[in-house]
Chain A
Amino acid sequence: MPDAVGDARVIDPRGESVRLASLWAAQPCMLVFLRHFGCIGCSEQLHELVPRLGEIARAGVRVVLIGSGSPEQRDAFVERHLLQNAPATVMTDPGLDAYGRLHFARSLWATFGPRAIVDAARAVAKGHPHAPPQGDRMQQGGVLFVDTRGVVRFFHASRSIGDHPPASDLVAAALRLAIETHSPRAYV
């Protein structure tokens, strides 16, 4: 992981600015960069991911969700998705500092292009509500796993609003990381 990325700062739930690199200092970390906190694609993503967060946490991986809205919008998002007691921390990056350093897509095409329209229709069909933007509307998200040495073990940059990796891929990445972190004497 380039130092420039680790030096990016995000706002934690207490409202304090923290270095991104501090998130994986103690244990491997899965960083899920959402879009804005009202994003319909992110709602679909969380619907699939939240029930699997326990599996990822049990694998010893810290889960951090990062959006791009204000801290107040973050709080409303946490309540709306019942994340208060979930094994995940929700942070925000309203200045898009980390998004930019990770080179996540930010474009009109990714937000309103044909693929985005299909993604939005799919999410609506699944019952996810459309909400006004709560953060940067053009910014796309992504997911990365970083181990305690700062090595990126999984990386996905979303190309449109509903382009997120399946939750099972993330659980698989967490389990692989658990095996490598524990380096068991017997590996069968």
Chain B
Amino acid sequence: MTIFIHVANVIYLGSYLVKDILWLRALTILGGLTIVAYYVFMPSPVWAAIAWNVLFLAINAWQIRVLLAERRPVVLDPDSLELYKLAFRSLKPREFVKVVKLARWTQVASGERIVAKGEDLDRIMVVVSGRVRVEPAAGAGIELRPGCFVGEMSFMTGERPNADVVAIEPTRLVTWPQKDLRALLESAVELRAAVQGVLGADLIAKLHHA
């Protein structure tokens, strides 16, 4: 019976020597199963030790599932892929998936107003196809094409827009509720930095163009 102890500890030793966390967990499970077998086949099984080891096995199995899911290549559907290429190329695909999960695709007709001057704006948008025009109180309008954000200044400052935004042809938009996007970004440091880079680049280009 003591052979189980030796085998389990050799496997644990192997787990301490690998650097990859997935292999470490896999070997730990193997070692754990061996040690559980030892406790089970003892003349009088040690149920407390068995219970603790089964708990450790379950935790490691769950973490392996998470690791495998994280390592699986990301496959984007055609709509998401188009959005990624248009506006989010600088994000890692897995980061982008978190952002796109909160998104809604909407179609607006030509002439439809999508942002009203002076009213609270609770969403942020990207033009996917078509064109929209930003219409300030004075001066010429500014046309936004696919890939441009709408509402990013309000998103960053919390201020109400001072211009209308109107679709000038049938337009497809992707929208995020500001509150949901903010909550997601607050919970993920790297994602926040990446999305901030995307929004910042769009914003600075607009400010230089204005």
Contacts and interface: CB of A to CB of B under 8 A. Distances in A.
Nearest to A52: B193
A150 to B, nearest CB: 21
A187 B159 contact: yes
B163 interface: yes
A184 B207 contact: yes
A10 B192 CA distance: 34
Contacts of B37: none
A125 B150 CA distance: 41
A188 B161 contact: yes
A178 B142 CA distance: 19
Contact of B193 (A168, A186, A187): A168
Given A166-B189, A176-B157, A186 B207 contact: no
A185 interface: yes
Contacts of B134: 186, 188
Contacts of B193: 52, 167-168, 171
A185 B210 contact: yes
B200 A179 contact: no
Contacts of A186: 134-136, 141-142, 162-163, 210
* Interface bracket on A: 20 to 34
A179 B207 contact: yes
Given A168-B189, A187-B159, A187-B162, A58 B153 contact: no
Nearest to B159: A187
B157 A179 contact: yes
Given A168-B189, A168-B196, A176-B156, 9 more contacts: A171-B200, A178-B204, A179-B153, A185-B136, A186-B141, A187-B154, A188-B121, A188-B152, A188-B165
Pairs of residues from A and B, 3 with the lowest C-beta to C-beta distance, nearest first? A186-B163, A186-B136, A185-B136
Interface of A: 52, 55, 58-59, 166-168, 171-172, 175-176, 178-180, 182, 184-188
23 contacts: A166-B189, A168-B192, A172-B196, A175-B203, A176-B157, A178-B203, A178-B204, A179-B157, A179-B203, A184-B153, A184-B207, A184-B210, A185-B137, A185-B139, A185-B210, A186-B135, A186-B136, A186-B163, A186-B210, A188-B150, A188-B151, A188-B152, A188-B161
Interface of B: 115, 121, 134-139, 141-142, 150-154, 156-157, 159, 161-163, 165, 189, 192-193, 196-197, 199-201, 203-204, 206-207, 210
